[in-house]
């Protein structure tokens, strides 16, 4: 990274960092941040069963909804930089509150988080900025939805407007399925998040995630990534939070990237500024590369999970400087991220039954693993009273490897996965199939 770390050392205080969130994403952020020698302590609120295995990390048990108590605690801990991981506290205005209390915060305010927490607002935003995306209709009642579905001559997807933990998107195969999806949403499955429904033109093409660290005006891009959203092999089955990922995504050629910067990323930031939104955080562009070029499927106001776990091991010790610069509005936009020349891959091990009902509380045993360029970031784990690691979520562990090519990466990941046990463990064996030369095609 061509950031002058000597200058940074003299000017920046980064002794105490706070990360909000409890997933693999937040553990991987902590892991990348602890590499910097200026960082002495990283607090995770609430973190999970694996957070304290990461150097310099300590969990603190405090309710982030009690905002004043939280701020007092953070003054006492002399927190220099706060990184907010998940969308819910961002949508809830936690970044605005903490900024008002004079903390440096990486994460957008409520106005910027609207890119994620209202899909209809994000679509109108893209329309205003002339950003390529699927056609859409915003509807406020089932009758209205039915009319549009009935009259439509193109296949549609059906989305709850608000936050729904990645479960509010339906990809129907027929008009009947569209009606049913709209009914499910309007009948309250997602609470207030389903008061409005977005109907969208169904578009096609491979997907890629692009992450822009943004300081309000300038931005720099992290390596791209591709995740696997479907539960089962061959990208079949229900959508999940993400079953694995790889980075960088070779699909994203320099030509595509230049188009994406020109037609999508820059216009997004210009439009944010036009709307007086001072966005200091990461903008996650969920893109589809269609025959007519890259289009935005969705924006998120946070790092992707498991993309973040996949990308963080590629960062060097200067990563935390980028977060700090964004929080201060100090990016030059010329910072170059010198990643390792390795590629990275991640496989998620889930509880049996995820993304539907599953049981938790099973002991996790880790045998003899090859720990070279290998990380286990806990996603949903807890520690029992006697310190035993237990499953505590749908997505349990993120298994991450780096090496010179994707075949070696995934060979190592799957070899190590054979050494990891818990009752009901499930994972896909074909993560990264698009980029594994030795993976039998047509599978």
Q: How many CB atoms lie within 10 A of CB 414?
A: 16
| Contact (CB, 8 A) for 40 and 65 | no
308: enclosing H helix or E strand: helix 307-311
Given ligand GLY, ligand AMP, none, residue 89, with its beta carbon under 5 to 8 Å by kind, binds: none
| Contact (CB, 8 A) for 333 and 109 | no
**87 lies in the site for ligand GLY, by CB under 6 A:** no
Select 134 or 322, whichever has its Cβ closest to ligand AMP. 134
**112 lies in the site for ligand GLY, by CB under 6 A:** no
Q: How many CB atoms lie within 10 A of CB 24?
A: 35
Structure tokens at 361: 């509380």
Nearest distance, CB of residue 79 and ligand GLY, angstroms: 26
**300 lies in the site for ligand GLY, by CB under 6 A:** yes
Structure tokens at 423: 């009752």
**307 lies in the site for ligand GLY, by CB under 6 A:** yes
Angstrom distance (rounded) from CA 342 to CA 312: 12
The CA–CA distances, whole Å, from 251 to 27, 64, 206, 411 equal 28, 39, 8, 21
Classify 17 as helix, strand or coil. Answer: strand
**89 lies in the site for ligand GLY, by CB under 6 A:** no
Nearest distance, CB of residue 94 and ligand AMP, angstroms: 22
Select 133 or 318, whichever has its Cβ closest to ligand GLY. 133
Q: Which residue is nearest to ligand AMP (CB)?
A: 298
**26 lies in the site for ligand GLY, by CB under 6 A:** no
End-to-end CA distance of the chain: 39
Structure tokens at 55: 């150097």
Output the furthest CA–CA distance in the chain (Å, rounded): 64
Residues 6+ apart with CB under 8 A from 371: none
Nearest distance, CB of residue 242 and ligand GLY, angstroms: 4
**424 lies in the site for ligand GLY, by CB under 6 A:** no
- From candidates 85, 112, 304, 355, binder to ligand GLY by CB under 6 A: 304
Nearest distance, CB of residue 156 and ligand GLY, angstroms: 21
Select 186 or 303, whichever has its Cβ closest to ligand GLY. 303
Angstrom distance (rounded) from CA 115 to CA 108: 10
Residues forming the site for ligand AMP (CB under 6 A)? 134, 157, 166, 169, 171, 200-203, 207, 229, 239, 286, 297-298
Select 200 or 378, whichever has its Cβ closest to ligand AMP. 200
Given ligand AMP, ligand GLY, none, residue 240, with its beta carbon under 5 to 8 Å by kind, binds: none
Stretch that binds ligand GLY, among 144-152, 302-310, 327-335, 430-438 (CB under 6 A): 302-310
Given ligand AMP, ligand GLY, none, residue 348, with its beta carbon under 5 to 8 Å by kind, binds: none
Nearest distance, CB of residue 231 and ligand AMP, angstroms: 13
Long-range contacts of 335-341 (CB under 8 A, 24+ apart): 335/1, 335/2, 335/3, 335/220, 336/1, 336/2, 337/1, 337/220, 337/221, 337/222, 337/223, 338/1, 338/2, 339/223, 339/314, 339/315, 340/313, 340/314, 340/316, 340/402, 341/404
Select 70 or 91, whichever has its Cβ closest to ligand GLY. 91
Given ligand AMP, ligand GLY, none, residue 324, with its beta carbon under 5 to 8 Å by kind, binds: none
Stretch that binds ligand GLY, among 297-305, 350-358, 365-373, 385-393 (CB under 6 A): 297-305
- From candidates 166, 205, 352, 424, binder to ligand GLY by CB under 6 A: 166
Which residue do the tokens 């520690």 mark? 383
Q: DSSP class of residue 194?
A: G
Nearest distance, CB of residue 170 and ligand AMP, angstroms: 9
Residues 6+ apart with CB under 8 A from 75: 101
Stretch that binds ligand GLY, among 251-259, 303-311, 313-321, 373-381 (CB under 6 A): 303-311
Given ligand AMP, ligand GLY, none, residue 304, with its beta carbon under 5 to 8 Å by kind, binds: ligand GLY
Nearest distance, CB of residue 54 and ligand AMP, angstroms: 29
Q: DSSP class of residue 53?
A: G
**161 lies in the site for ligand GLY, by CB under 6 A:** no
What is the contact surface with ligand GLY in residues (CB under 6 A)? 166, 227, 242, 300, 304-305, 307
């Amino acid at each position: 990274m061509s950031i002058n770390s000597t200058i940074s050392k003299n000017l920046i205080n980064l002794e105490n960092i706070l990360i909000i969130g409890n997933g693999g994403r937040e553990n991987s952020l902590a892991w990348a941040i602890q590499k910097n020698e200026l960082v002495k302590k990283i607090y995770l609120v609430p973190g999970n069963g694996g957070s304290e295995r990461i150097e310099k990390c300590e969990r603190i048990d405090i309710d982030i909804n009690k905002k004043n108590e939280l701020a007092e605690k953070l003054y006492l801990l002399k927190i220099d930089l706060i990184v907010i991981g998940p969308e819910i506290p961002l949508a809830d205005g936690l970044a605005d509150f903490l900024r008002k209390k004079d903390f440096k915060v990486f994460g957008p305010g409520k106005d910027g988080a609207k890119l994620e927490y209202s899909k209809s607002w994000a679509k109108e935003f893209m329309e205003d900025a002339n950003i390529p995306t699927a056609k859409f209709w915003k509807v406020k009642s089932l009758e209205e939805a039915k009319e549009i579905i009935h009259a439509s001559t193109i296949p549609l997807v059906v989305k709850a407007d608000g936050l729904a933990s990645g479960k509010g998107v339906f990809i129907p195969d027929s008009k009947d399925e569209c009606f049913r999806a709209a009914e499910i949403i309007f009948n309250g499955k997602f609470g207030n998040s389903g008061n409005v429904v977005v109907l969208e033109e169904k578009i096609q093409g491979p997907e890629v995630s692009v992450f822009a660290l943004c300081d309000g005006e300038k931005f720099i891009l992290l390596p791209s990534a591709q995740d696997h959203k479907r539960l089962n092999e061959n990208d079949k089955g229900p959508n999940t939070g993400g079953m694995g990922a790889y980075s960088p995504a070779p699909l994203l050629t320099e030509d595509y990237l230049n188009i994406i910067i020109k037609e999508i990323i820059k216009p997004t930031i210009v439009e944010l500024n036009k709307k007086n939104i001072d966005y200091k955080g990461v903008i996650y562009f969920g893109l589809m590369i269609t025959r007519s070029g890259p289009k935005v499927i969705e924006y998120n106001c946070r790092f992707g999970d498991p993309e973040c776990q996949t990308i963080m091991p590629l960062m060097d010790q200067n990563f935390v400087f980028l977060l700090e610069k964004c929080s201060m509005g100090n990016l030059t936009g010329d910072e170059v991220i010198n990643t390792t020349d390795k590629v990275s891959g991640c496989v998620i091990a889930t509880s049996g039954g995820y993304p539907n009902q599953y049981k938790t509380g099973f002991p996790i045993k880790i045998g003899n693993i090859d720990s070279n360029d290998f990380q286990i970031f806990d996603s949903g784990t807890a520690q029992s009273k006697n310190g035993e690691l237990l499953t505590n979520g749908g997505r349990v562990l993120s298994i991450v490897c780096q090496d010179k090519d994707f075949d070696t990466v995934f060979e190592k990941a799957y070899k190590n996965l054979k050494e990891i046990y818990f009752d009901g463990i499930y994972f896909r064996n074909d993560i990264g199939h698009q980029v594994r030369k030795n993976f039998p095609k047509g599978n």
